Amino acid sequence: MIISNIKLVNWKNFKNVEVELTERNFIVGANASGKSNFLDVIRFLRDIVKQAGGLQYAVDQRGGVSKIRCLSGRQVAGVSITIQLASSTNEHEPLWEYALSFKHSGGGIFKNQASIISERVENLKTNQVYSRGTETDGEDSETLKFTHLEQPTVNSEYRDIYYFFQETQYLHIVPQLIRDADSYLLASNKEDYYGRNLLDKMNRTNKKTRDSYLRRINDILQIAVPQLKNIDFITDDKGIPHLEAIYQHWRAKGAKQQEAQFSDGTLRLIGFMWALLDGQETILLEEPELYLHSAIVKQIPEFIYKMQRRKGRVRQVFISTHSYDILSNEGIGGNETIILIPSKEGTGIFKALDLKDIKKQLDAGFTIAESVIPKIAPSNIQQMLEF
Amino acid sequence: MKVDIVGEDEVTRAVLKRMISAYRNDLSIDKILPVRGGQIKVSAPKYNLLQSPVILLTDLDVYDCPPSLIQDWFGNTALNSSYLFRIAYGETESWLMADRKGFSKWINADINLIPLPSIVDKRKNIIEIIFPYKPSLYMMKKIASASKNDTIRDSLLPKEGAKKGPLYNSILVPFIEKIWNIEDAAKNSTSLAKTLERLKSF
């Protein structure tokens, strides 16, 4: 399945927005326009359904409802998220709609927490609706702390949504953290913001699958980083997993290196390819261009397009980016580009084709980079030099 | 001998690489220029100042004839003998489609979708395939759309608002490397035949 539509009310810097999505989505916007906050909606839903997760956990992870609620959302108390899921073979065939709205409760001697205002699931094929809220019989402040989506005893009719979000992947690797062997233990049961768990993830994949992924990663690294050969996966005598490769130098046999010695770019590239190979559902990639040579970055759009299509199935990908090289790929469409434009009343979300000035430029033959990057650049940026 | 190659897109660079490896394997490619496509017109005069071998290929595009492009890009400056400056009639893609048999078989569509070559200049004996509009666009809209191969159609048909198909380079580069028959194509395109001649004697 793919996420075909997202509607947000009061979510972080989005006051009231709605956007249609497709198989491949490039999220672009100035700094602090809300690219990560937008992707965070999907991670939030994943936090709700994941093992040892749940609504309270997802809200806590983000510092409570007050940190989630939009600063521009003056009149409306709650935060609402509505998503539609469509078939991945036909994005125009919607399957599910899930809507969740929650607000802050507690304070004083009561614990701060999130309380559900309403939760609604609709099967868009059969039009069957499952709905609950503060007015529903049998609900009280305790039951309203938990979504039905997170509870396997209640969600059997829409288990597909539950599985879908469990399988979404987020990747934003900070190489320094992978190299830090101590963080392997620390991060094991926490949310993996920065790819600390990458090695752990590899460890938990069964050997046959892992070997086949590593073979493909090797083939590509061979082209991008020719000095590095035979990437392999090993566990040391303490049981901690490592990546190992042969670094070719003046000695005939080369030298063995582990991930701590890999370059930033190599680690990012490995993580990026692993996510694309391993992801079963929607994959969120945060700035895949970081640390990579522009010649590699230029290949990213086509590379992702190919990697999304495996075994006759298309997996949705979101890519947040600032990269001119990525966006100058001429195969990127105006429906695949999502532009965030901040204003005093929250950030707006637009598809490139829906903005008249951008559409005019695209029709005139501009690439996405040529038309979109000037649009989102801070208007007085040259003043940075006047200090 | 080491040589730098210059082409504004992935397809042009692949064409240069293939031609060099097929006819001049004594040349080894050093740098691939420019970093960004749009820079080619600005950079072209700078390559003329390098005293090392450079091979550049560009599209004739909207210019009437090669001399008017050269006049516009270089003014009256003479080109250095270590600088092989070549122009493809129409676009580089025209050279690919000039291998009518190979291209139509690979793309899995009727050969008659690729126009027959016509005489551009009778006196100079120049023949080229003339496409009704931009050759790369014609390839995507008219030929690829008629392909019986799903992967080719999906790769080459542009999404709304895009200039090219989502896997345009990924699918064309292997064709250029492995299938494209340069000699056959040169029979239908004088600009290619002459480039080949010049490359051999470079």
Instruction: Report ipTM for this prediction.
Output: 0.86
Of B102, B116, B106, give the one whose Cα is nearest residue B147: B106
**What residue type is assigned to position B180 of the chain?**
W
Residues A159 and A155: their CA atoms lie apart, in Å, by 6
Residue B36 has pLDDT above 90, yes or no: no
* B151 interfaces chain A, CB cutoff of 8 Å: no
Residue A189 has pLDDT above 60, yes or no: no
**Going by DSSP bridges, is the β-strand pair A14-20/A24-29 parallel, antiparallel, or unpaired?**
unpaired
Q: How many domains does chain B have?
A: 1
Please report the pLDDT score of residue A202 as a whole number: 87
Q: Are A120 and A99 in contact (CB under 8 A)?
A: yes
pLDDT score, position A193: 53
Q: Any idea what DSSP says for residue B78?
A: P
pLDDT at A75 over 80: no
Q: Does A21 touch chain B (CB under 8 A)?
A: no
Query: Could you tell me the two tokens for A175?
Result: 């190489």
Q: Is A277 helix (H, G, I), strand (E, B) or coil?
A: helix
- The H or E element containing residue B126 is strand B126-129
pLDDT at A185 over 60: no
**Is B36–A328 a contact, with Cβ atoms under 8 angstroms apart?**
yes
**Hey, is the C-beta of A350 within 8 angstroms of any chain B C-beta?**
no
Q: Is A219 on the interface with B (CB under 8 A)?
A: no
Containing domain of residue B25, as a range? 2-201
Tell me the residue ranges of DSSP E strands in A124-224.
129-133, 169-171
Q: Which of A52, A51, A85, A47 is nearest to A68 (CA)?
A: A47
Asked if the model's pLDDT at residue A188 lies above 50, the reply is: no
Decide if pLDDT at A294 tops 70.
yes
Q: Tell me: the pLDDT tens digits for B149-195? A: 999 999 999 999 999 999 999 999 999 999 999 999 999 999 999 99
Q: What is the pLDDT of residues A320-377, one digit of tens each?
A: 999 999 999 999 999 999 999 998 888 999 999 999 999 999 999 899 999 999 999 9
Which contacts qualify for A253-259: CB closer than 8 Å, 24 or more apart? A254/A229, A257/A228, A259/A178, A259/A179, A259/A199
User: Is residue B165 within 8 angstroms of chain A, CB to CB?
Assistant: yes
Residue B24: pLDDT over 60: yes
Is there a contact between A302 and B163 if contact means CB atoms under 8 Å apart? no
Asked if A333 is an interface residue toward chain B (Cβ–Cβ < 8 A), one would say yes
Q: Which of B35, B159, B170 sits opposite A336 (nearest CB)?
A: B159
pLDDT the model gives residue A68: 92
**Which is more confidently placed, A290 or A180?**
A290
Q: What is the pLDDT of residue A339?
A: 97
Does the beta-carbon distance from B162 to A306 stay under 8 Å?
Answer: no
pLDDT of A194 reads 54
User: Do A335 and B160 make contact, defined as CB atoms within 8 angstroms?
Assistant: yes
Q: Which domains, from first to last, does chain A contain?
A: 1-168+316-379 (3.40.50.300), 181-280+282-309 (3.40.50)
Q: What pLDDT, on the 0 to 100 scale, is given for residue A251? A: 82
Does pLDDT of A5 surpass 50?
A: yes
Q: Do A39 and A332 form a contact (C-beta atoms < 8 A)?
A: no
pLDDT digits (tens, 9 = 90+) for B52-105: 999 999 999 888 889 999 999 999 999 999 999 999 999 999 999 999 999 999
Number of other CB atoms surrounding residue A239 within 10 Å: 7
> Using the beta-carbon criterion (under 8 Å), do A331 and B165 form an inter-chain contact?
yes
| Mean pLDDT score, B10-36 | 93
Q: Could you tell me whether strands B83-88 and B54-59 are parallel, antiparallel, or unpaired per DSSP bridges?
A: parallel
Of A301, A325, A335, the CB nearest to B161: A335
Percent of chain A, pLDDT > 90?
59
Q: How confident is the model over A153-179, as pLDDT tens digits? A: 999 999 999 999 999 988 887 777 777
Is B161 within 8 Å of A334 when comparing Cβ atoms? yes
Pairing of strands B117-121, B126-129: antiparallel
Q: What is the pLDDT of residue A199?
A: 82
State the Cα–Cα distance between residues A353 and A286, nearest whole angstrom.
23
In angstroms, the separation between the Cα of residue B1 and the nearest Cα of chain A is 23
Tokens of B172: 């064309």
Confidence category of residue A184, pLDDT binned at 50, 70, 90 = low
CA separation for the pair A382, A378 (Å, rounded): 9
The pLDDT, as a whole number, for residue A218 is: 93
- Average confidence score pLDDT of chain B: 94
Q: B166 in contact with A at a CB cutoff of 8 Å?
A: yes
Residue A85: pLDDT above 70?
yes
